[in-house]
Amino acid sequence: MTGKPGMTKQESRGLKQRRDAEHSIRPAVDIFENQAGIVLRADMPGVAREHLNMRVDHDTLSIEGEISISMPEGMEPIHADVRATHYRRSFLLSRELDSGRIDASLKDGVLTVRIPKLAEHQPRKIEIRTA
Partner 1 sequence: MLGYLSGFDNDIFDQFERMRRQMDRLFGDWSGATGIRAMAAGSFPAINVGASPEQVDVYVFAPGIAPDSLDISLQQNLLSISGERKVELPENVQLYRRERFNGSFHRTITLPEDVDPDRVNASCRDGVLHITVQRREEVRPRRIEVS
Interface ranges with partner 1 (CB under 8 A)? 23, 28-34, 39, 41, 43-48, 51, 66-85, 107-110
Q: Which residues pair with 57 in a beta bridge?
A: 60
Cβ proximity to partner 1: between 10 and 32 the closer is 32
Least distance CB 100 / partner 1 (angstroms): 20
Cβ proximity to partner 1: between 30 and 103 the closer is 30
Least distance CB 3 / partner 1 (angstroms): 15
DSSP structure class, residue 120: G
Give the residue among 74, 61, 71, 73 at the shortest CA–CA distance from 111. Answer: 61
Least distance CB 85 / partner 1 (angstroms): 5
* Residue 104: exposure state from Cβ atoms within 10 A (0-12, 13-18, ≥19): middle
Cβ pair 88, 44 in contact under 8 A: no
Q: In whole angstroms, give the CA distance from residue 108 to residue 93.
A: 26
Cβ proximity to partner 1: between 58 and 107 the closer is 107
Least distance CB 66 / partner 1 (angstroms): 6
